[in-house]
Amino acid sequence: MLAATITILAVIIIFIYIFPEFHRSPPGPLNLPLLGSLTKIDQKVPTLTFIKLKQKYGPIYNVKLGLTNIVVISDATLLKDILLRHDCLPRPPCHIFNKIFHNKGISYTTHDPWKNQHKFIANFIKTSKVLLENQIQKSAAEFVQNVQTQGLRVPLHTVEVITRYVVDIMGTVCLGIFNYDDALIKTLSHSFNQLLSGASTLITTTSIQWNLLYRAQHQEVQNQVRQELHDVLHGKTLHIDDLSKLSYTQATVAEVDTIRTLLPLGFPRYTSQNMVFLNYTIPASTMIVPLLWGIHMDPGVWKMPEEFRPGRFLNDAGHFFQPESFLAYQAGERMCVGKDLANIMVVFFVATVVQNFKIEGLESGSVDLSYEWSFLTLPKPQELVFVQL
Ligand code: HEM
């Protein structure tokens, strides 16, 4: 009798595990006990599998990788709804990131201090515009000088010089934070340094690379940006307050953020308790993966998403706006705290380069816009030519 009861219980548990929809999970592939769907995941490029699963199971699906329960979302409205929820604010415990951030860095911390850190960084960026502006103008001018001293037509491996530009600015931010006379910040400064100088530098550098590549490929866009800078600035130096007047330039940057979504799988979140979402039950400790690539490349939302069209970020009056489905920085209380800083760095860099040089591929039309996926969407290593204007 006991044996029969245990067998029936075991069958029910296995049934629930293999068929998650039985307990109203989002749809998804059949999960093997212990392994889940691990064997189906492309080990080298997991993003590819996540995109294929979206095509099969739709905008919200459930997949188990080993013992980790994952819900993948690739619909802008659904994603925003879940990111805004209080029970979806934590980050998943991630051993690799915990190692990097010693469990203190803001991006992966699952504990309360992230709130103070988040507020402080946002406030610092807002109130230190003059300091930032000076450093950004200086770093951009140094970039121009670097290129000029190497001759007028310089095949340039873009990565190193761009990294230097971003690192110098991030250094200023870190230093500013370090010098800030506040007991709370002193205790947090170690983790600030780690988070500011690591992943965010890499993401911003990659964003600048893509911006240069797309401008080299689309000379007409490059010319229009140059014209706008001329019309708005009349030869004066660019200041942060001018950015709101550079609608077309901003639109080109946002379009790059969309067509080459830097974080194809976004930054994951984690459920702190069982939650009901739509008509599904999502258990506590589920990793929520925002499939940003799937959102930004959805032809049902963006007309011809594979085409570089900055115009989709301009309203009828020609002013820059961000459509609801633009989620490069995600949303909610934990959305990217460096969004404005990243935007300032990228726009200043692009503006300074376009004002001084014509950007071209090494041989006419030879810009390679194909990409590789790691946790970032990376361009292929290549060189660009900066022709002095
Ligand atoms: C183009 C460049 C960048 C992109 C696309 C980007 C994107 C993102 C995304 C998608 C998130 C996750 C937000 C969420 O969970 O809702 C994030 C978080 C974060 N970003 Fe960025 N980011 C960029 C640049 C930067 C820069 C320059 C900084 C430096 C200040 C920065 C600092 C952070 C921090 C600290 C978090 C974690 C916020 C938290 O967990 O409370 N990011 N970023």
258 within domain boundaries: yes
**Ligand 1 site-directed mutation target among 329, 333, 341, 350, most atoms within 8 Å of CB:** 329
35 within domain boundaries: no
Q: What are phi and psi of 241, to 5 degrees?
A: -65, -20
How far is 40 from 28, CA to CA, in rounded Å?
12
Protein residue with its CA nearest to atom 31 in ligand 1: 338
How far is 56 from 130, CA to CA, in rounded Å?
50
- Amino acid 102: pLDDT: 44
Question: Ligand 1 centroid to 199 CA: how many Å?
Answer: 9
- Amino acid 100: pLDDT: 38
57 within domain boundaries: no
How far is 159 from 77, CA to CA, in rounded Å?
35
315, with CB counted inside 10 A (0-12, 13-18, 19+), is exposed
357 within domain boundaries: yes
Owning domain of residue 110: 67-388
Give the binding-site residues of ligand 1, using a 6 Å CB cut-off: 83, 106-107, 114, 118, 121, 195-196, 200, 203-204, 207, 262-263, 266-267, 269, 328-332, 334-338, 341-342
34 within domain boundaries: no
* CATH number of residue 304's parent domain: 1.10.630.10
255 within domain boundaries: yes
- Amino acid 198: pLDDT: 76
Domain count, the chain: 1
31 within domain boundaries: no
Task: For residue 312, give Cα distances in angstroms to 40, 74, 242, 247, 251.
Answer: 36, 20, 21, 12, 8
Task: For residue 307, give Cα distances in angstroms to 211, 254, 299, 304, 384.
Answer: 15, 13, 11, 6, 21
* Nearest atom within ligand 1 for CA of residue 105: 35
* Nearest atom within ligand 1 for CA of residue 267: 12
Q: pLDDT 10s per residue in the chain (389 long)?
A: 677 777 766 666 665 555 554 568 999 998 888 888 888 888 888 899 999 999 999 999 999 988 889 999 999 999 999 999 999 998 888 653 454 334 444 455 555 566 777 777 777 777 777 888 888 999 999 888 888 887 556 665 666 778 888 888 887 777 665 554 455 555 555 555 555 557 888 999 999 999 999 999 999 999 999 999 999 999 899 999 999 999 999 999 999 999 999 999 999 999 999 999 999 999 999 999 999 999 999 999 999 999 999 999 999 999 999 999 999 999 998 999 889 889 999 999 999 999 999 999 887 667 999 999 988 999 998 888 888 89
27 within domain boundaries: no
